């Protein structure tokens, strides 16, 4: 751990996550449900099992995992109309829900699911930066709970998950590399990136942007290492939550 603090929220160091919690079984009806909190960011992740697959998979003997993402109208400081009221999903929402689905499919053996689908819904109750990374991290726990239910009912011959997956944001703010940016940090960051990483340390996706000046390979390496450290800790916390 480095010792740079600089007044971050939650009195954390530059390489510390926000307080992370998982509340499993948060809703009654979904086969898996988790309220995940990254500091003040709170996302409800549910996993629903359906005994069917999309038309392009029918008869193939394979399953499917997909995701939807949404923010409640007052998840932020100003109310935003529901996208359903506007009649279309925004590009940002579409991109995030595809990212969540890809991240979960990357660690799932779809053949082991049989011809059934697991639909992940990630609803942001409160946003303070990192909603997509919190959603991916919580969705994995919800997916595990749904699969455990299928296994208990003896509907799975083999365990479908090959690995775990989590995600975290990193960035440069005032020339300091920071882990797990909140909204104010993300808004002022010169470089911000999102890393999706498996429990075994393999990369699923990297998203990164330089707001003003291009960043160097050395800067990228420092952010990558910070993200890998953060995801190792998230993986540990996921496992602790699943054992609880």
Task: pLDDT tens for the chain, 244 residues: list them.
Answer: 333 445 798 899 999 999 999 999 999 999 999 999 999 999 999 999 999 999 999 999 999 999 999 999 999 999 999 988 888 899 999 999 999 999 999 999 999 999 999 999 999 999 999 999 999 999 999 999 999 999 999 999 999 999 999 999 999 999 999 999 999 999 999 999 999 999 999 999 999 999 989 999 999 999 999 999 999 999 999 999 999 8
SS3 199: coil
DSSP state of 161: B
SS3 156: coil
**What pLDDT, on the 0 to 100 scale, is given for residue 28?**
97
Tell me the C-alpha distance between 172 and 223, whole Å. Answer: 8
**What pLDDT, on the 0 to 100 scale, is given for residue 111?**
97
Which residues are CB-neighbours of 199 under 8 A, at least 6 positions away? Answer: 163, 164, 165, 166, 235, 238
pTM: 0.95
H helix and E strand count, the chain: 5, 9
**What pLDDT, on the 0 to 100 scale, is given for residue 6?**
58
Provide the edge-to-edge strand list for the sheet that holds 191-198: 176-179, 165-173, 191-198, 203-210
**What pLDDT, on the 0 to 100 scale, is given for residue 88?**
86
CA 40 to chain centre: 15
E strands, the chain, are 20-24, 32-38, 41-50, 64-71, 117-126, 165-173, 176-179, 191-198, 203-210
**What pLDDT, on the 0 to 100 scale, is given for residue 3?**
35
**What pLDDT, on the 0 to 100 scale, is given for residue 98?**
97
């Amino acid at each position: 751990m480095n010792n740079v603090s600089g007044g971050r929220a939650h009195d954390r160091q530059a390489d510390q996550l926000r307080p992370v919690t998982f509340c499993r079984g948060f809703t009654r009806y979904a086969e898996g449900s988790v309220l995940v909190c990254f500091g003040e960011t709170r996302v409800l992740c549910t996993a629903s099992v359906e005994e069917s697959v999309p038309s392009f998979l029918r008869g193939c003997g394979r399953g499917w995992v997909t995701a939807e993402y949404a923010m409640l109208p007052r998840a932020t400081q100003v109310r935003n109309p529901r996208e359903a009221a506007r009649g279309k999903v925004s590009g940002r929402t579409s991109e995030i829900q595809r990212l969540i689905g890809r991240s979960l499919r990357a660690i799932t053996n779809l053949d082991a699911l049989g011809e059934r689908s697991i639909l992940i819904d990630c609803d942001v109750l409160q946003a303070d930066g990192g909603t997509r990374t919190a959603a991916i991290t919580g969705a994995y726990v919800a997916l595990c709970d749904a699969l455990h239910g299928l296994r208990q009912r003896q509907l799975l011959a083999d365990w479908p998950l090959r690995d775990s997956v989590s995600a975290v944001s990193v960035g440069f703010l005032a020339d300091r590399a920071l882990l797990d940016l909140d909204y104010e940090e993300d808004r002022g960051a010169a470089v911000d990136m999102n890393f999706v990483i498996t429990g075994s340390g393999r990369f699923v996706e990297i998203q990164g942007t330089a707001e003003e000046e291009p960043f160097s390979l050395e800067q990228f390496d420092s952010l990558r290492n910070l993200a890998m450290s953060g995801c190792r800790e998230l993986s540990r916390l996921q496992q602790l939550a699943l054992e609880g």
